[in-house]
């Protein structure tokens, strides 16, 4: 509801009318009879009037800001009643509404730059559009205007203060305005944040809150959220910059400062009931145990003692608060400047209700074990035998030890272990015990020894250690989330070219800061025989740029090679590069996905990066490619450990001379190219025998094996391994085709591990429970496991996925992968394209990587990948 010319409905005090007088060009003088809009105290006067008019309704069903009134209700009947009360108040004070600006019975409406809904808030699109379209500030005043716009939605953006820190640093008093690269990146980051889902939810007073904090060198951040059954609902984001004094705090002090600041900020939400605090608990431990004592630390400790919370430890490397929470589609934040207003909109507690604690009798785990003892078919015989031994004495070997270690307590069998008494667990209850001490969230999936030590503090049975070991080894969660045992890497296949420029390896580095010539990437080409390195700064890492550089700068001087080794970057897997290889009559050998060890140029990339790093530290204000040529000169005259010679001597027949080196006449040296090459080949052979000698036998898989695949594109708390999945066939060498839903992917053996053999969590009801006698722990009776049926081989598995389809060749799989990537880029680029203009989807029967796995690292930017057939490009058959 909006009042009609609200200020003009308030009459002026007669003694103050002359203060509003003004003159017109015709010489007449006028004064206001009602309150004008230009008076400094007009907003406060009008707000005071509306607070008096709606007294008793504010915070219950009405919220008002100046002449904008919001009436909120749970049901339609309540809404009609609330509207009637508001209209009666307005009629009583003689205030009129602008009917054309009022909206009734809606679930959401724009209000003060926000769209307020029944469950969540979001900023208005018009305000976001102003931020996205804002030009780059050129003066301090323009920067202040932009930050004023962005601050309006800062409550929706995680780590807003940290992102905007380079911009706010430009506003320091006495500091000249100089636009920097960091400021430009912060400016673009704030504009990109406007494209994220900016949604905030109402807090549910019946559910507990979780507060997560984090601190960095320039700012602190916090988020308040509630975990519902279907999703995580953000209640509030908050962030603040650290001043110069706080930036010099120790990291523990900064973590504690973030906690104290967040708790004070969200006191209205946290002071009523216990909450969960997710942070680095070492910060709280440091606050309680530090020997330093000052007023600041004392205040922090006393403040935290007022709240009831449970700390959950989140290691620093995993506490990536903005990355984790910005992916939630329903994150919500509470207005930072008007916490009291939000409390009036959604009361956090009802004064008519109080919490009442009631005791509930819940069966414990020990009660379940005791009940299982009495239900076990061997238990009556065990009790009778123990009573006979105690009454008549032992008759058979082992009965004395049995009577000394076991006893009956309230009709239950327990074992005396020093000062403790352990409850004997029958076979039917053992899966429940193992689940409680390993699988539950409270247990936390510990290792074998820790699980066994924990459960044997309270329970025992003869085969407890073996059962614990089998249970932990068969846990799928442990296998997919933990690092597991260190496995020997598969041996590399040595590349042994026989002459220079017979085999080359290529790779892209970057993107880096744009140079004045527009260069962002670096194409590195390495001759695997001589280790001669060529590097070319380029503006774009595409297939066309790659082929042009190779033809004009490499092949024109050194000739065409026989083989080219590269990774699986889109610029190397595109049809453009395939057709170029066909034209050059060159074989292209792509390495396995996420396996940089197989690309020999990766070692040269490290050397080139070292050169660029040293040049940048020496000349920080110069472009990164200015001194690249000098660095390459140093690499070419440096002796290589694999060949025993310098690349220049092996390739050119002489060592490159550097300034300052003394040169003398050594006379003619009978050293032909063939002799140099022969020495290099023999040296490489000895080098490979030394460093690539066979180690322990690596794991191998057969068609039908169940394996886990390393999760390369995981984020946040996603597991490290995915699976189990089924092996389809060997893809030649150390790679395997594995089944991934409707797709098949080629994975290196280093990225696979055997899947754990799953054991049933609960025994079958009709299964026999053959229990060994408690005093015969050394000879338990174990039922032999049933023999497993043979698993179907590769062709059968493919037939199940793709009826009447043969095992695809590598060429077919790569062709489908290129089409899959091209379609994905079309989907990303069309965004809001109307349905009638979208191309029809093509069926995908198999691709090299699934849609959720396609990810390009910084060193592998996407290039000119084409979707049509490769036209029979010359390529070796690997499958």
pLDDT digits (tens, 9 = 90+) for 87-142: 888 888 888 888 877 878 777 777 676 777 767 777 766 667 767 777 788 787 77
Backbone angles phi, psi at 352, to 5 degrees: -85, -5
Cβ pair 679, 645 in contact under 8 A: yes
Q: How many residues does the chain have?
A: 879
139 and 86 within one domain: no
Q: How many helices (H) and strands (E) does the chain have?
A: 31, 27
Cβ pair 341, 335 in contact under 8 A: yes
Task: Please give the pLDDT value at position 542.
Answer: 92
Read off the DSSP letter of residue 236.
E
Q: Supply the pTM of this predicted model.
A: 0.36
Rg (CA), the chain: 37
384 and 297 within one domain: no
Cβ pair 543, 564 in contact under 8 A: no
Residue 300 has pLDDT above 70, yes or no: yes
Among 1-5, 160-164, 482-486, the least confident range: 482-486
680 and 536 within one domain: yes
Confidence of residue 665 (pLDDT cuts 50, 70, 90): low
CATH number at residue 373: 1.10.340.70
Position of tokens 């308040």? 224
340 and 275 within one domain: yes
Residue 849 has pLDDT above 80, yes or no: no
- Mean pLDDT value across residues 376-393: 82
- Mean pLDDT value across residues 637-646: 76
Q: What percent of the chain has pLDDT over 70?
A: 67
Which stretches within 266-364 are classed as H helix?
Answer: 267-270, 281-289, 295-304, 321-325, 339-345
| Report for 178-182, 527-531, 720-724, 737-741: range of highest mean pLDDT | 527-531
pLDDT digits (tens, 9 = 90+) for 328-377: 323 333 333 333 333 333 334 343 444 434 344 446 788 888 888 888 88
Residue 803 has pLDDT above 70, yes or no: no
How far is the C-alpha of 96 from the C-alpha of 91, rounded, in Å?
8
Task: Please give the pLDDT value at position 197.
Answer: 62
Domain end, chosen from 286, 312, 345, is at: 345
Residue 147 lies in a domain: yes
Smallest CA-to-CA distance from 596 within 704, 712, 682 is with 712
Residue 579 lies in a domain: yes
Residue 784 lies in a domain: no
680 and 535 within one domain: yes
Is 234 or 506 the better-scoring residue by pLDDT?
Answer: 506
Phi-psi bin for 495: left (phi > 0), alpha (psi -120 to 50), beta? beta
CATH number at residue 47: 3.30.70.270
Residues 6+ apart with CB under 8 A from 513: 181, 520, 623, 624
pLDDT digits (tens, 9 = 90+) for 208-251: 888 888 887 777 888 888 887 767 777 877 778 788 888 888 77
Is 865 or 621 the better-scoring residue by pLDDT?
Answer: 621
How far is the C-alpha of 375 from the C-alpha of 573, rounded, in Å?
65
128 and 95 within one domain: no
Residues 6+ apart with CB under 8 A from 750: 487, 489, 490, 595, 734
Task: Please give the pLDDT value at position 784.
Answer: 37
Residue 414 has pLDDT above 80, yes or no: yes
How many angstroms separate the Cα of 737 from the Cα of each of 18, 539, 659, 740, 854? 89, 36, 54, 9, 17
- Mean pLDDT value across residues 515-537: 90
Residue 564 has pLDDT above 50, yes or no: yes
512 and 466 within one domain: no
Task: Please give the pLDDT value at position 474.
Answer: 81
Angle between helices 628-636 and 601-618 (to 10 degrees): 130
How far is the C-alpha of 381 from the C-alpha of 413, rounded, in Å?
12
- Mean pLDDT value across residues 540-553: 92
Confidence of residue 764 (pLDDT cuts 50, 70, 90): very low
139 and 89 within one domain: no
Confidence of residue 260 (pLDDT cuts 50, 70, 90): confident
Task: Identify the sign of the CA torsion 845, 848, 852, 856.
Answer: negative
How far is the C-alpha of 644 from the C-alpha of 684, rounded, in Å?
8
Confidence of residue 150 (pLDDT cuts 50, 70, 90): confident
Beta-strand runs (E) in 385-455: 406-409, 412-417, 420-424
Smallest CA-to-CA distance from 156 within 320, 338, 334, 322 is with 334
Is 682 or 446 the better-scoring residue by pLDDT?
Answer: 446
103 token code pair = 């909206």
Position of tokens 């749970």? 74
Residues 6+ apart with CB under 8 A from 156: 122, 123, 198, 199, 200, 237, 333
Cβ pair 215, 306 in contact under 8 A: no
CATH number at residue 161: 3.30.420.10
Residue 568 has pLDDT above 70, yes or no: yes
Residue 498 lies in a domain: no
How many angstroms separate the Cα of 126 from the Cα of each of 137, 187, 188, 376, 697? 20, 19, 19, 71, 64
Residue 604 has pLDDT above 80, yes or no: no
Which stretches within 408-459 are classed as H helix?
Answer: 430-434, 448-455
Residue 488 lies in a domain: no
Residues 6+ apart with CB under 8 A from 398: 775, 776
Longest dimension (CA), the chain: 130
Give residue 23's Cα distance to chain centre: 66
Arithmetic mean of pLDDT over the chain:
72
133 and 99 within one domain: no
Residue 97 lies in a domain: yes
- 10 Å CB burial of residue 792 (0-12, 13-18, 19+) is middle
Domain that holds residue 88: 6-105
Domain end, chosen from 77, 105, 133, is at: 105
- Mean pLDDT value across residues 720-742: 78
Task: Please give the pLDDT value at position 662.
Answer: 60
Task: Please give the pLDDT value at position 673.
Answer: 66
How many domains in the chain?
Answer: 5
- Mean pLDDT value across residues 521-534: 90
Q: What percent of the chain has pLDDT over 90?
A: 6
Confidence of residue 790 (pLDDT cuts 50, 70, 90): very low
Among 80-89, 102-111, 274-283, 786-795, the least confident range: 786-795
Task: Please give the pLDDT value at position 879.
Answer: 32
How far is the C-alpha of 144 from the C-alpha of 142, rounded, in Å?
5
- Mean pLDDT value across residues 808-821: 64
Task: Please give the pLDDT value at position 599.
Answer: 62
Helix (H, G, I), strand (E, B) or coil at 334: coil
How many angstroms separate the Cα of 593 from the Cα of each of 80, 134, 362, 854? 64, 41, 52, 11
601 and 466 within one domain: no
Smallest CA-to-CA distance from 506 within 580, 441, 444 is with 580
Residues 6+ apart with CB under 8 A from 606: none
Task: Please give the pLDDT value at position 127.
Answer: 65
Residue 323 has pLDDT above 60, yes or no: no
Among 277-291, 324-338, 484-498, 728-742, the least confident range: 324-338
Residue 679 lies in a domain: yes
Is 50 or 789 the better-scoring residue by pLDDT?
Answer: 50
Is 152 or 382 the better-scoring residue by pLDDT?
Answer: 382
513 and 466 within one domain: no
17 and 138 within one domain: no
How many angstroms separate the Cα of 506 from the Cα of each of 129, 323, 509? 43, 33, 10
Confidence of residue 797 (pLDDT cuts 50, 70, 90): very low
β-pairing, 62-65 vs 68-71, is antiparallel
Q: Is the peptide bond before 333 cis (omega within 30 degrees of 0)?
A: no
Task: Please give the pLDDT value at position 671.
Answer: 63
Residue 444 lies in a domain: yes
Task: Please give the pLDDT value at position 540.
Answer: 92
3 C-beta neighbours (distance < 10 Å), count:
22
- Mean pLDDT value across residues 518-546: 91
The H or E element containing residue 746 is strand 743-748
Confidence of residue 649 (pLDDT cuts 50, 70, 90): confident
Task: Please give the pLDDT value at position 685.
Answer: 65
Task: Please give the pLDDT value at position 561.
Answer: 93
């Amino acid at each position: 509801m909006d009042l009609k010319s609200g200020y003009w409905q308030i009459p002026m005090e007669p003694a103050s009318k002359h203060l509003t007088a003004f003159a017109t060009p015709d010489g007449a003088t006028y004064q206001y009879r009602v309150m004008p809009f230009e008076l400094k105290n007009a907003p406060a006067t009008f707000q005071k009037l509306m607070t008096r008019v709606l007294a008793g309704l504010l915070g219950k069903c009405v919220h008002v800001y100046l002449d904008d009134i919001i009436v909120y209700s749970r049901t339609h009947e309540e809404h009609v009643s609330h509207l009637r009360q508001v209209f009666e108040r307005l009629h009583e004070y003689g205030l009129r509404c602008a009917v054309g600006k009022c909206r009734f019975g809606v679930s959401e409406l724009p209000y003060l730059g926000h769209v307020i809904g029944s469950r969540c808030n979001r900023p208005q699109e018009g305000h976001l559009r102003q931020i996205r379209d804002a030009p780059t500030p050129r003066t301090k005043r323009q920067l202040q205007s932009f930050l004023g716009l962005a601050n309006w939605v800062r409550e929706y953006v995680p780590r807003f203060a940290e992102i905007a820190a380079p911009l706010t640093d430009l506003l320091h008093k006495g500091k000249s305005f100089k636009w920097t690269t960091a400021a430009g990146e912060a400016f673009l980051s704030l504009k990109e944040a406007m494209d994220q889902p900016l949604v905030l939810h109402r807090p549910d007073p019946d559910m507990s809150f979780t507060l997560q904090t984090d601190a960095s060198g320039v700012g602190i951040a916090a988020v308040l959220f509630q975990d519902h059954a279907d999703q995580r609902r953000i209640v509030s984001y908050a962030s603040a910059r650290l001043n110069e004094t706080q930036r010099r705090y120790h990291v523990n002090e900064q973590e504690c400062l973030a906690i104290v600041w967040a708790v004070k900020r969200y006191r209205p939400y946290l002071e009523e009931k216990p909450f969960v605090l997710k942070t680095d608990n070492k910060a709280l431990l440091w606050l309680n145990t530090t020997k330093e004592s000052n007023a600041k630390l004392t205040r922090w400790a006393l403040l935290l003692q007022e709240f009831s919370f449970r700390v959950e430890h989140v290691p620093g490397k995993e506490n990536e608060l903005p990355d984790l929470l910005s992916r939630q589609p329903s994150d919500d934040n509470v207005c930072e400047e008007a916490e009291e207003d939000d409390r009036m909109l959604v009361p956090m507690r009802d004064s008519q209700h109080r919490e009442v604690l009631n005791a509930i009798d819940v069966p414990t785990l020990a009660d379940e074990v005791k009940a299982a003892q009495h239900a076990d078919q061997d238990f009556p015989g065990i009790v009778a035998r123990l009573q006979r031994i105690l009454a008549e004495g032992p008759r058979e070997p082992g009965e004395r030890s049995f009577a000394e270690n076991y006893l009956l307590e309230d009709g239950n069998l327990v074992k005396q272990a020093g000062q403790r008494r352990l409850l004997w667990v029958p076979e039917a209850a053992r899966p429940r015990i193992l689940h409680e001490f390993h699988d539950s969230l409270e247990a936390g999936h510990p290792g074998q020894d820790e699980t066994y030590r924990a459960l044997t503090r309270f329970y025992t049975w003869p085969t407890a250690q073996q059962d614990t070991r089998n249970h932990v080894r068969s846990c799928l969660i442990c296998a997919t989330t933990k690092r597991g045992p260190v496995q020997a890497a598969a041996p590399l296949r040595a590349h042994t070219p026989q002459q220079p420029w017979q085999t080359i390896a290529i790779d892209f580095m970057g993107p880096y800061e744009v140079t004045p010539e527009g260069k962002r990437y670096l194409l590195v080409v390495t001759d695997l025989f001589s280790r001669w390195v060529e590097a070319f700064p380029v503006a774009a890492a595409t297939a066309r740029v790659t082929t042009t550089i190779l033809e004009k700068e490499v092949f024109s001087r050194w000739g065409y090679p026989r083989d080219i080794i590269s990774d699986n970057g889109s610029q190397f897997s595109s049809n453009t590069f395939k057709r170029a290889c066909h034209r050059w009559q060159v074989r292209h050998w792509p390495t396995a996905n996420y396996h940089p060890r197989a690309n020999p140029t990766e070692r040269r990339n490290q050397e080139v990066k070292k050169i660029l790093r040293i040049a940048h530290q020496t000349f920080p204000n110069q472009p990164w490619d200015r001194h690249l040529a000098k660095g390459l000169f140093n690499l070419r005259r440096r002796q290589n450990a694999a060949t025993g010679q310098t690349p220049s001597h092996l390739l050119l027949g002489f060592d490159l001379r550097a300034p300052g080196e003394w040169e003398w006449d050594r006379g003619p040296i009978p050293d032909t190219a063939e002799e140099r090459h022969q020495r290099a080949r023999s040296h490489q052979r000895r080098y490979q025998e030394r460093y690539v000698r066979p180690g322990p036998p690596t794991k191998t898989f057969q068609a039908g094996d169940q394996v886990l695949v390393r999760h390369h594109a995981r984020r946040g708390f996603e597991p490290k391994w995915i699976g189990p999945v089924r092996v389809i066939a060997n893809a030649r060498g150390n790679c395997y085709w594995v089944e991934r839903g409707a797709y098949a992917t080629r994975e290196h053996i280093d990225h696979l591990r055997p899947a754990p053999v799953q054991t049933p969590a609960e025994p079958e009801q009709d299964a026999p429970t053959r229990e060994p006698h408690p005093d015969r722990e050394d000879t338990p009776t174990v039922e032999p496991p049933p023999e497993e049926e043979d698993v179907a081989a590769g062709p059968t598995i493919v037939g199940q996925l793709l009826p009447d389809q043969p095992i695809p060749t590598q060429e077919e799989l790569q062709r489908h992968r290129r089409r899959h990537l091209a379609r994905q880029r079309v989907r990303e680029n069309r965004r809001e394209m109307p349905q009638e203009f979208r191309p029809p989807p093509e069926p995908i029967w198999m691709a090299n990587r699934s849609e959720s796995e396609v990810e390009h690292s910084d060193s592998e930017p996407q290039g000119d990948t084409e979707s049509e057939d490769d036209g029979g490009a010359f390529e070796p058959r690997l499958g």
